Amino acid sequence: MTQVPNDAWVLVADGEKALFLRNITDEADPNLEVVRKEEQDNPKDIDQSANRPGRMHDTGPGQKSAVDDTDWHELAKERFADDLADLLYAQAHKGKFDKIVLIAPPKTLGELRQKLHKEVADKVIGEVPKTLTNHPIDEIEAMLRKDAA
């Protein structure tokens, strides 16, 4: 059960986008307004890779093995969690929010949870493991209302 009290923030994020919302009413009927939007330019891995995966010589004569290339797209998603954690820390340090609910896909939520500074982690009052970044705000409000009931 996730309740969002008045003036609490809601972070709706995935590995590439984040929407910072603030509840301007009460927890029974949340009315969220946009505080900030963040988006990362993260093309598909194939568009970021410089060349095909490398090969290395094996011990046998004329044998070669493929070497995995770095997944730049996935790496950028992990860095985005770092950036979000830093941004949340800066906002919490300025006193912009006292309570926050995190909504993100399970993997992103786990990465973000590991990166959060203690000052922010102490303000987390709920987590929702869902992908809602492409949903309109009224659907997010309805989901929070249903969740709080």
Domains in the chain and their CATH numbers? 9-37+70-148 (3.30.420.60)
**Is the C-alpha dihedral spanning 142, 125, 23, 34 positive or negative?**
negative
Residue 104: burial class (beta carbons within 10 Å; 0-12, 13-18, 19+)? buried
**What pLDDT digit, counting tens, does each position of 94-107 carry?**
999 999 999 999 99
Name the DSSP letter for residue 100. E
Highest-pLDDT range among 71-75, 115-119, 142-146:
115-119
What are the strands, taking DSSP E only, across 1-149? 9-13, 17-23, 32-39, 55-57, 64-66, 100-103, 124-128
Mean pLDDT (whole number) for 45-71: 56
Q: Please give the share of the chain, as a percent, with pLDDT higher than 70.
A: 72
pLDDT at 53 over 60: no
Work out the angle at residue 93's Cα, subtended by the Cα atoms of residues 88 and 94, and round it to the nearest 5 degrees. Answer: 100
Q: What's residue 74's pLDDT?
A: 65
User: How would residue 56 be classed by pLDDT, with cut points 50, 70 and 90?
Assistant: low
pLDDT greater at residue 1 or residue 27: 27
